Amino acid sequence: MTQEYRKDQDAVTRLTPRQYEVTQEAATEPAFRNEFWDSKDAGVYVDIVSGEPLFASVNKYDSRSGWPSFTVPIDPANIVEKKDRSWGMTRIEVRSKHGDSHLGHLFDDGPAEAGGMRYCINSAALRFIPLADLETEGYGDYRQLFETQETTR
C-alpha cells in the first residue's frame, strides 16, 4: 500500500480513556474484558491512532491469555520492538512504527508450528476492519491474505 501512516492528533483526541491509557501511556487493559480477545471475525486490525495495518485475523489464535494473540504481524515494517524492564522483568514491548502507539508485548510461547512467537496485543490499541470492508476502507491489498481461506471453505 502506498498510504502514508502517521500519528493522527485528531484520532488521539477521540480516544476513550482506556484507549488513551493503553496507546499513549503504555497501560494494559484487563484480560478477558476487552473487545477482540475472543473475536473470530475475518479482517485486519489497524492502529487506532494511525490506521497502519498491524495484524490479520488469519494469524490470530486463542492463546488463552485473555488478549488478542497473533503469530506474526501483517507487515513487520509497521512494528517496533523495544526492551521493557518494567514490573521487575524484561519483556519485549510492541509499538506501532508510525503511530508510536503502545500495542502490547511479544512472547516466545506461541504455537511452535507458526514460529513460536505470540504478539499479545491490547484490543484498545486496535481498530478492526472486516473482510467485507477492506476495499472501501483502503486496505484492499490485504484481501489476498484471505483468498486461500475462502477457496478452502
Strand ranges inside the chain, DSSP E: 43-47, 53-56, 60-61, 69-70, 79-84, 91-96, 102-107, 118-121, 126-130
Angle at 99 between CA 98 and CA 104, to 5 degrees: 110
Amino acid in position 79:
I
- Of 135, 148, 117, nearest to 55 by C-alpha is 117
Active site residues: 120
Q: How far apart are CA 100 and CA 7, in angstroms?
A: 7
